[in-house]
């Protein structure tokens, strides 16, 4: 029995998210179908975490066990022949038997892109959140590091009792290693790296930072919201899925 690590890139626009769902196109389900076609094996690849409908990945990681003898380079070619162009397998590696895409993950990096220009080019529309309204971006840049460190992020998690987080464990404490906002041409980009993220956590952080940019909240408010451990203390909206991309998973 082999254990394989599969690194995938996908445009999430036309998927119901990572997780397999009945009668809706998911990335996990599409990958499982392709795997079955090339190996005959029915196996559900385990992702490093779920991504929601419309969320993209530059390098999502999945693991699966297989009896197939196909060399890794051939698996890449065979999967990409079958998968739609919106999902690409970037690499496949043989890994140790105890490797698990979710449980072995040490850190993840997400990026959230906000397009600030008046008119969003159609070629970017699927990959950004178009927000051309006034924002004090310097305030957002300054407040970004407020959330760095080990915290209970309940105030930034989806209220979602069936699915408290994306990592499958039962507490809401996570460590953010870095959090920063940067201007890049017409885009305002948030990049956050941490040891794990709760459901909707990045989009809720972005929603709260947008209120900092609008002047509704300041950095002290973010600290207060964090300490409240209560989503209803956080007035920020969940930022739209299209702007979010899972950039990398570190092991």
The residue (of 81 and 136) whose beta carbon lies closer to a second copy is 81
Near a second copy in 76-105, by CB under 8 A? 76, 80, 85-90
Which one is catalytic: 11, 23, 33, 52? 52
What is the DSSP secondary structure assignment for residue 119, as one 8-state letter? Answer: S
Near a second copy in 8-37, by CB under 8 A? 9-11
59-97 exposure pattern, b = at least 16 Cβ within 10 A, e = fewer:
bbbbbbebebebeeeebbebbeebbeebbebeebeebee
The residue (of 120 and 148) whose beta carbon lies closer to a second copy is 120
First to last CA, the chain: 22
| 52 catalytic per annotation | yes
Scanning 64-72, 123-131, 135-143, 202-210 for contacts with a second copy by CB under 8 A, the matching segment is: 123-131
- Say if strands 187-194 and 173-184 run parallel, antiparallel, or are unpaired: antiparallel
What are the structure tokens assigned to 148, written together? Answer: 């760095």
Least distance to a second copy, CB of residue 146, Å = 31
Scanning 4-12, 160-168, 203-211, 214-222 for contacts with a second copy by CB under 8 A, the matching segment is: 4-12
> According to CB under 8 A, which one of 1, 119, 162, 185 is a site residue for a second copy?
119
The residue (of 10 and 18) whose beta carbon lies closer to a second copy is 10
Distances (CA, A) of 43 to 50, 70, 83: 17, 16, 16
Least distance to a second copy, CB of residue 106, Å = 25
Scanning 5-13, 31-39, 133-141, 144-152 for contacts with a second copy by CB under 8 A, the matching segment is: 5-13
Dist. CA 51–CA 16, nearest whole Å: 9
Q: How many CB atoms lie within 10 A of CB 98?
A: 8
- Residue-wise DSSP of 149-200: EEEE-GGGS---TT---SSS-S--EEEEEEEEEEEETTEEEEEEEES---TT
Contact between 52 and a second copy per CB under 8 A: no
Contact between 121 and a second copy per CB under 8 A: yes
The residue (of 202 and 245) whose beta carbon lies closer to a second copy is 245
The residue (of 40 and 122) whose beta carbon lies closer to a second copy is 122
Dist. CA 123–CA 121, nearest whole Å: 5
Q: Which residues contribute to the site for a second copy (CB under 8 A)?
A: 9-11, 56, 58, 76, 80, 85-90, 119-123, 125-127, 130
Catalytic residues: 52
């Amino acid at each position: 029995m082999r254990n394989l690590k599969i690194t995938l890139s996908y445009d999430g626009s036309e998927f119901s998210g990572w997780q397999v769902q009945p009668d809706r196109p998911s990335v996990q389900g599409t990958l499982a179908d392709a795997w079955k076609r090339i190996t005959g094996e029915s196996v559900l690849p385990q992702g490093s975490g779920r991504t929601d409908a419309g969320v993209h990945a530059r390098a999502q990681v999945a693991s699966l066990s297989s009896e197939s003898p196909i060399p890794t380079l051939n698996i890449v070619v065979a999967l990409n022949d079958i998968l739609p162009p919106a999902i690409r397998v970037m690499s496949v590696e043989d890994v140790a038997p105890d490797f698990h895409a979710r449980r072995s993950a040490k850190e993840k990096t997400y990026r959230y892109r906000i397009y600030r220009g008046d008119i969003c080019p159609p070629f970017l529309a699927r990959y950004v959140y178009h927000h051309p309204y006034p924002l004090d971006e310097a305030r957002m840049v300054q407040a970004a590091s407020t959330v760095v460190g080990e915290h209970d992020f309940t105030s930034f998690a989806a209220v979602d009792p069936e699915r408290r987080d994306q990592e499958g464990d039962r507490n809401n404490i996570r460590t953010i290693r870095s959090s920063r906002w940067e201007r890049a041409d017409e885009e305002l980009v948030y990049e956050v790296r941490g040891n794990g993220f709760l459901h909707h956590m990045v989009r809720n952080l972005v929603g709260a930072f947008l209120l900092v940019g609008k002047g509704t909240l300041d950095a002290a408010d973010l600290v207060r919201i964090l300490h409240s451990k209560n989503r209803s203390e956080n007035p920020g909206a969940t930022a739209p899925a299209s702007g979010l991309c899972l950039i990398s998973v570190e092991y």
